[in-house]
Amino acid sequence: MAVVVCPKCGIIVPASKGVCMRCGAPLPTSTKPVVEPAKPEPKRPEPVVPVAPLGSEDNSLREDTPLRDSRHASEPNPYVSLGWTIGVFILCWPLGIASLILRILSTRAWKSGKEESAKKLGKMSNGVAIAGIVLVVLTLLFY
C-alpha cells in the first residue's frame, strides 16, 4: 500500500484516503506517493554442504557429524522390553507411566549413540516394570 505525507500536519497517510486521518486536510492525489509498496525479495536457498558418508576418513574430524554408528539408527534399543512396560501399565498404571518414561529416555539415548546411558535407563525401566508387577501379585496374594 502506497503512502503520502499530509501537507498540513506531516503524518504519513495511506494514499487511498482522500483526507488526512488526523487533521482532515485534503491529500494531494496527483503527486507520486512518497513510499512505494515494498516488494518482497525472493528467498535465496541455503547453500547445500555435502557431507561425506559415515565412516569415511574426511568425515572423522567434522563437527557436524553425529557421533553414532549406523547400528543405533537401524536397530531397535536392545535394553528395553515393551512387554514388561505394557504389563505393568495394565496392572499398576502409575508405575507403568514411570516405566514408559524411562523406556522413552533409554530409546532416545540409544538413537543418539549413548549406549551406556541407554543401558542404564533400560535397566531402570525394566526394573520399575518388574517391581510393579511383583508388587501387584504380592498384593493380590496377601489381600
pLDDT at position 132 is 92
- 69 against 41, higher pLDDT: 41
Band of residue 49 on the pLDDT scale cut at 50, 70, 90: low
pLDDT at position 8 is 86
Instruction: Enter the pTM of the model.
Output: 0.50
Residues in contact with 65: Cβ distance below 8 Å, sequence separation at least 6, in sequence order: 51, 54, 59
pLDDT at position 99 is 92
Residues in contact with 14: Cβ distance below 8 Å, sequence separation at least 6, in sequence order: 1, 2, 3, 4
Choose among 53, 51, 58, 85: nearest CA to 70. Answer: 53
**Alpha-helical segments (H) within 1-143:** 70-74, 82-91, 93-111, 115-142
- 17 against 1, higher pLDDT: 17
Residue 63: pLDDT over 50: no
Q: State pLDDT tens for residues 82-129.
A: 888 888 889 888 988 999 999 999 988 888 888 899 999 999 999 999
